[in-house]
Structure 1
Amino acid sequence: MSNYRRYRIPGGTYFFTVNLLERHSNDLLVRHIDLLRESVKQTRKRWSFHIDAWVVLPDHLHCVWTLPDGDEDNTNRWRVIKQAFSKALPATEKRSAVRIARGERGIWQRRFWEHMILDEADYANHIDYCHINPLKHGLVKQVADWPYSTFHLYVARGLYPSNWSNDSDFLDVDEGWR
């Protein structure tokens, strides 16, 4: 078994990218958005964390979380979210022989990408990255048109204007985030 090294800070803030196993032309996450929301809600009851930003795209998601003081375990939180979501869906996906032997579903990629937020500028960049993503992927013409994002909460709180990122200057900044 691989031993992954992750930078862990108790009570830290992290950016995540979590992907479906079969990403091409798969809209599973938005098709079952209520199930995903419920999976996150139930996980937060057991393993609390603060959602700083979140965007759900058809085949992957990005989010920023802050863990409780003294807690550095985001891995189990993701395990619980993925399991709850997977268990609630009928087993219709293709599975490899390895996944079948391990009793695993074929819905999620096993791992996720994580980045420890280092400072306020890094935090702001990753919050923006979450919110700009539907536009970046060509899913909408305006960020405000994507319904599965915390962008709307940020607008309601006065942190973004409703037409945020509609100019081409912002998209030039996005090029540096790849």
Structure 2
Amino acid sequence: MEPEQSYHIFNHANGTENIFREVENYRYFLQQYAKYLGRVVDTYAFCLMPNHFHLLVGVRSDLPGFQNLAGLTPTKLGHASNNPVTKAFSDFFNSYSKAFNKRYERRGSLFVEHFKRTPILDERQWQENFLYIHLNPVKHGFVKNHQDWKWSSWHAYQNQNRPSNIVRSYYLNFFDGLEHVKYMMEVKKEWLMNKDME
């Protein structure tokens, strides 16, 4: 993962379990996320679902350790011990998993071992990921309207005056304001609903 690059991050429960069983799990996940990743990435969107989650993040450019990565191959850069961002994500997942396992007296991996990280390469891809992440609860049938799902960053955009760890101004590089986002959300939602009916 490289500085000044945006990524769509996704991870899923290992097997058929849920990674969030109760409200406190969601809260703890966000707390640990802020602890381990708050200084590493800027977060533009997130959605936490019972058995998976999505994030849209940008790797910060002022990270200590990146200046020492020159000359490493892409394979070695991807290894958690060499890349400070990948290591931060690994530490975060481990922290949450250990607490979850202790709380529910379970053993073994909670998450799929290798989390998915897709680089965002253009404006349209950023827009699509931003909309998709917020519409995920609708896509999976948990709610009919995305604003009704509690565990997403959509509320940070709706309530601009409330403190938030979301970098709320960045979306303006891709949309013409919040009304434009709301319009595009409705268009995308209708497309998703029609696609599911095919």
CA change 1:81–1:42 in 2 (3 A) is: same
Between the aligned partners of 1:56 and 1:67, the Cα distance in structure 2 is: 20
Distance 1:49 1:167 in 2: 27
Contact kept, 8 Å, 2:8 with 2:54, in 1: the verdict is: yes
Structure 1 spans left out of the alignment, 5+ residues: 1-7, 96-104
Residues 119 and 30 of structure 1, relative CA distance in 2, 3 Å threshold: farther
Question: Which residue identity does 1:55 align to in structure 2?
Answer: C
Q: CA deviation at 1:35?
A: 1.0
- For the residues of structure 2 that align with 1:126 and 1:10, how far apart are their CA atoms? 19
**Which amino acid in structure 1 is aligned with residue 128 of structure 2?**
N
Q: Does residue 51 of the first structure (1) align with residue 72 of the second (2)?
A: no
- How far the C-alpha of 1:166 sits from its partner, in A, is 8.1
**1:75 deviation in Å?**
1.7
Per-residue Cα deviation, 1:56-85 (whole angstroms, up to 9, x for no partner): 000000011101116574321221111111
Shift of 1:172: 5.8
Q: Contact 1:142–1:165 (CA<8 Å) still a contact in 2?
A: no
CA contact (8 A) 1:17 1:63 kept: yes
Q: Aligned residues, how many?
A: 156
Q: Percent identity?
A: 22
Name 1:9's counterpart in structure 2: 2
Q: 1:149: Cα distance to partner? A: 0.3
Answering whether residue 159 of structure 2 is matched by residue 139 of structure 1, we say: no
| C-alpha deviation, 1:131, in angstroms | 0.4
What corresponds to 1:92 in structure 2?
Answer: 105
Structure 1 residues 74, 174: closer, same or farther in 2, change over 3 A?
farther
Secondary structure of the structure 2 residue equivalent to 1:123: helix
Paired residue type of 1:116: P
In 1, distance between residues paired with 2:99 and 2:7?
27
Distance (Å, rounded) in 1 between the aligned partners of 2:120 and 2:16: 26
Is residue 158 of structure 2 the alignment partner of residue 155 of structure 1?
A: yes
Measure how far apart 1:87 and its partner are. Answer: 2.3
Measure, in 1, the Cα distance between the counterparts of 2:138 and 2:41. Answer: 27
Measured on the aligned residues, the alpha-carbon RMSD in Å equals: 2.8
- Which residue of 75, 86, 91 maps to 1:75? 86
The one-letter code of the counterpart of 1:80 is D
Q: Is the 8 A contact 2:13 2:111 kept in 1?
A: yes
Aligned with residue 62 of structure 1, among 54, 64, 67: 54
Indicate if the aligned counterparts of 2:32 and 2:92 stay in contact, CA closer than 8 A: yes
Report which of the two has the higher share of helix: 2
| Cα distance in 1, alignment partners of residues 125 and 145 from structure 2 | 23
- The SS at the match of 1:87 is helix
Query: What residue in structure 2 maps to residue 170 of structure 1?
Result: 191
CA contact (8 A) 1:144 1:162 kept: no
> Counterparts in 2 of 1:16-27, with a 5 A limit?
16-24=9-17, 26=18
Give the letter for the 2:123 counterpart. E
